[in-house]
Amino acid sequence: MKNRRSPWLIAAVVFLVFPVKIAAGQAHRDGRWTKEFEAGTKAYENCDFAASEIHLRKALREAAAFELGNERAVRTLNALGMLYVTERRLEYAEVSFQRACAIAEVWVGRENAAYAECLHNRGVLAMMRTKSNNYDEAEGLFRQSLQLRQKFLPSDELDIAASLSSLADLDTRRGRYDEADSFLQRALTIREKALGSHHPAVAQTLNDVGLLRAAQGRAAEAEAEYQKALDICRKSPRPPACEVAVTLKNYAALLRANNRAAEAERLEAQALAMALRSTKE
């Protein structure tokens, strides 16, 4: 007599094994996406924009292997968009942000933190594109993003600090210094609480305070903020080269405006050397 296997038993075995294979495949793809996304982010922090774009595009291809509306695609498109903003490739940035927002809106809706990130990044792009003092579009997007983040995230969430910093940058450009100062102090408090007072993200906020003080004509205070930011970065084991270079350039601009050209040239040389070194690492 032949040993016949029950059809339901076969189906049960397939049901048990197949999901395991699917899960294993997804885990493998997730590992590849994570590797490329983190490499792209690291390269961006080190000012190696060419390498960052290569890794992020690979991460986007890996994200496409997951189901529609997957968070990985939104995160990768937003990261690519911010890279293009930094490189002043604004048309490319707009396409990336539009795709990220479309995915987030269709598949997860507008009432969530993922969509808030898209709004925030569109605000950054709008601010970059403004040729006059009319920053209304950027401010509207930043405020919508902040409202959503405050609704769905804890009050000490770093994304909220990012929104506050962007609003402060906008207000500094518009000459609304009291508002900018309030936003920056709130952002600084969040970052120090979440990351500690010697984290590079805190140094980035101090750089922004320095820009505000310079705009206010308070040169000595601006210089002190830049020095504090650079001191934090010098003590950090892996400071983000791009952020350090930006602070050095801002500090140099302050020195030039105050007839200290020789000191400014030294800082500019340091910024250039740091940017060149980071692309070779």
Which tens digit of pLDDT belongs to each residue from 36-50?
Answer: 999 999 999 888 999
User: Percentage of the chain surpassing pLDDT 90?
Assistant: 67
What is the spatial distance between Cα 245 and Cα 271, in angstroms, rounded to a whole number?
A: 5
Q: Are 258 and 221 in contact (CB under 8 A)?
A: no
Q: What is the dihedral of CA 55, 58, 59, 65, to 10 degrees?
A: -170
- Higher local confidence (pLDDT), 266 or 106: 266
> In CATH terms, are 45-153 and 159-281 the same topology?
yes
Fold for the domain defined by 159-281? 1.25.40
What is the spatial distance between Cα 159 and Cα 139, in angstroms, rounded to a whole number?
A: 16
What pLDDT is recorded for position 7?
47
Count Cβ atoms below 10 Å from residue 118 Cβ, excluding itself.
26
Q: What is the dihedral of CA 184, 190, 194, 199, to 10 degrees?
A: 10
- Give yes or no for residue 174 having a pLDDT over 60: yes
What is the spatial distance between Cα 74 and Cα 122, in angstroms, rounded to a whole number?
A: 13
- Give yes or no for residue 199 having a pLDDT over 60: yes
Domain map (residue ranges) of the chain: 45-153, 159-281
Q: Locate tokens 């930011």: which residue?
A: 229
Q: Which amino acid is at 26?
A: Q
Using alpha carbons, select from 203, 245, 265, 250 the residue that is nearest to residue 48: 245
- Give yes or no for residue 9 having a pLDDT over 50: no
What pLDDT is recorded for position 56?
97
Using alpha carbons, select from 103, 24, 114, 101 the residue that is nearest to residue 63: 103
Q: Which residues contact 199 (CB under 8 A, 6 or more apart)?
A: 191, 192, 232, 236
Using alpha carbons, select from 242, 193, 253, 254 the residue that is nearest to residue 41: 242
Provide the CATH number for the domain formed by 45-153 in this structure: 1.25.40.10
Which tens digit of pLDDT belongs to each residue from 216-266?
Answer: 999 999 999 999 999 999 898 878 888 899 999 999 999 999 999 999 999
Ramachandran bin of 69, using left for φ above 0, alpha for ψ from -120 to 50, beta for the remaining angles: left
